[in-house]
Amino acid sequence: MIKNIGILLFCLIFSLGSDAQCKITQIKNADGSMFLSTENNLMYQTSKKKLVERLATDNENYFLEILPIPFLPKPAGSKVKNDLTVKLSNQKSYTLKHFDSRYLDKDSSFSILYLFNSKDIPDFKQYKISSIVLNDGTAENATYKLVLHPDAIQKQLTCINNMSKK
């Protein structure tokens, strides 16, 4: 019994020391530049909608990549050029600038890349996300109220910063 409790405590301490959302991949672009990227993370899900995201940085700029499901069919998705509005738990709204929209994996998924304003990074590290408004160019903007993982970006920013310091 005591041995089992010891093993359980060891596993608990080990799991507290590791962060499941802290997996970073180094990506080398064709031009030789390096990016750090988190793994895909599910931010929002209902029976009809899903938002998957990941962060990337070149150690100078930070990007949020959103993969909305369902996504707009071609060519409508390629025309998405609008900025992303993010509301944090401090009740302030932030705008992430549209950087790129593209179809991936032979058009089986769609990705939108947004650029963080560097002055907003400290707030994103400190506050959880309340909602995201994704303006996809249609009459109705898609609003996602995050309950599933409102702290996902906070954790990923911390993770990337820790990796960058190594």
Model pLDDT, residue 164: 64
Phi and psi based region of residue 137 (left: phi greater than 0; alpha: psi -120 to 50; beta: remaining):
left
pLDDT at site 11:
34
Which architecture characterizes domain 21-165 according to CATH?
Sandwich (2.60)
Q: What is the domain partition of the chain in residue ranges?
A: 21-165
CA atoms within 13 A on the CB side of 83: 10
Using DSSP's 3-state secondary structure scheme, residue 158 falls into helix
Low-confidence ranges of the chain (pLDDT < 70): 1-21, 105, 136-141, 147-148, 164-166
Closest CA to 51 of 107, 134, 126, 124: 134
Q: What is the pLDDT of residue 78?
A: 74
pLDDT tens digits, 96-127:
999 988 887 677 788 899 999 999 999 999 99
